[in-house]
Every structure is written in structure tokens, then in C-alpha cells.
């Protein structure tokens, strides 16, 4: 069953303290075996917030796409990625931090305060911030960021699936499903697989 809808109580409290630009940040794609990690930064207009914002995981894919379009049309949004090469070089946590910082830096002006999903602030954060555990289900700005990031990454994985067919990325989004792992064994490792992740690394070791 869906949980309670997120609200904007944190944003309101911050604006009352003088924070004019409050931005929600979320990232998706830490767990997959392939593809980038993607982050979104969203600065909602408090007078024009799309209805129905929820944790992206609670929404059907068509509804996520509708809401992502509404958010992009009515709020300031920046989407950023960290590449497979950066994931392998930095580790997934460092790459997620990098993607989130890039999303913030891509906004038209620095935030007064960032609300970030999770239990820690990203390394390299250049503005005041607050980590909110379960924030995509609690905070409207973070929920909006979760929707935008999820739709952007899903779309990118669908594009990569056309370039590299057979792995099922258009449906598994790069996650290590049984079909994806079987395709890895049959087709080998693509340029978009994360070589630092054990299932991919093990196949490369077998090939050697």
C-alpha cells in the first residue's frame, strides 16, 4: 500500500528562515550492473506545485512520465549523470555524490538550501544541506527529484538498449535480473557495464 503523501513542511520552514531557493535532490541507479548513476535537482515553485507528487517507486511508469513533464514545465530542474567510467574509478557512492553535485551546479543559481534523500550529504556539496532519510516519501522537493531522475535514467537505458540489444535494458534498466545475467554470459560485457561490480568483473576474469 502507498505510504502517506510527501508534503512541503520542510520547504516552508526553510523559507520562513530566509531560504528563498530550496532544492530537492535525489539520485537513481546505484544498484544496476550497467549504465550511469543519475541525479536530479528540483526547485519547485511554491505557488505552482504539480499535484500527485510521490516517491517515484510508488508510481506506475506512465504516471511518472506525466509528472516528470509537469515538473520540468513548472519548476527549475537539472539532471546530471556520472558515467560508468566514473563509477568504476570512484566507486558507486563517490559517483552518486558527483552526479548530485553536478545537478546542483547546473541550476541557474546556487540553492540557499538543499534537501537530499538519504542519511548523508554528498561530498563536495557547495551549499547548506540536510539529509532526509526516506526523503522521497516525505518531502515534495525530493519526491519531484526522484521522479525526474527515474524517468531520465529509464529513458537513457531504453536508448542504450537500442544500441546494445539483448541485455533487456529497456525493461530491467540495467539491474542484475536473471535474464540480464544470462545475457552477460552469452553476449559478454558491453562498454556500458560497470566493471567494478562483481558479476561483471567475474565474467571479465573468466574471459582472461
Specify the range with the lowest mean pLDDT, choosing from 64-68, 161-165, 203-207.
203-207
Q: Looking at the predicted structure, is the pLDDT value of residue 206 above 90?
A: no
Contacts of 187 (CB under 8 A, 6+ apart): 166, 167
Tell me which fold the domain 9-164 belongs to. Answer: Nucleotidyltransferase; domain 5 (3.30.420)
% pLDDT > 90, the chain: 94
In the predicted model, is pLDDT for residue 58 greater than 70?
yes
pTM: 0.95
Residue with cell 545537478: 103
Question: What is the reported pLDDT for 4?
Answer: 78
Query: pLDDT at residue 72 above 70?
Result: yes
Supply the pLDDT for residue 1. 44
Domain regions of the chain by residue span: 9-164
Q: What does the pLDDT look like over 183-203, one tens digit per residue?
A: 999 999 999 999 999 999 998
pLDDT at 208 over 70: no
Residue 108 pLDDT level (bands cut at 50, 70, 90): very high
DSSP category for residue 7? B
Shortest CA distance to 151 belongs to which of 29, 31, 22? 29
Amino acid at each position: 500500500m502507498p505510504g502517506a503523501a510527501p508534503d512541503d513542511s520542510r520547504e516552508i520552514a526553510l523559507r520562513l528562515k530566509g531560504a528563498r531557493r530550496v532544492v530537492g535532490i535525489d539520485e537513481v541507479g546505484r544498484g544496476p550492473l550497467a549504465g550511469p548513476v543519475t541525479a536530479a535537482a528540483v526547485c519547485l515553485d511554491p505557488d505552482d506545485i504539480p499535484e500527485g507528487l510521490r516517491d517515484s517507486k510508488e508510481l506506475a511508469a506512465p504516471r511518472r512520465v506525466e509528472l516528470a513533464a509537469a515538473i520540468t514545465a513548472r519548476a527549475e530542474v537539472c539532471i546530471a549523470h556520472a558515467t560508468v567510467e566514473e563509477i568504476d574509478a570512484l566507486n558507486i557512492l563517490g559517483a552518486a555524490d558527483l552526479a548530485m553535485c553536478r545537478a546542483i551546479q547546473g541550476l541557474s543559481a546556487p540553492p540557499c538550501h538543499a534537501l537530499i534523500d538519504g542519511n548523508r550529504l554528498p561530498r563536495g556539496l557547495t551549499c547548506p544541506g540536510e539529509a532526509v532519510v526516506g526523503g522521497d516519501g516525505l518531502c515534495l522537493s525530493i519526491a519531484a527529484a526522484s521522479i525526474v531522475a527515474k524517468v531520465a535514467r529509464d529513458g537513457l537505458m531504453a536508448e542504450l538498449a537500442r544500441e546494445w540489444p539483448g541485455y533487456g535494458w529497456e525493461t530491467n534498466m540495467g539491474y542484475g535480473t536473471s535474464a540480464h545475467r544470462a545475457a552477460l554470459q552469452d553476449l559478454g560485457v558491453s562498454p556500458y557495464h560497470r566493471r567494478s561490480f562483481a558479476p561483471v568483473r567475474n565474467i571479465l576474469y573468466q574471459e582472461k
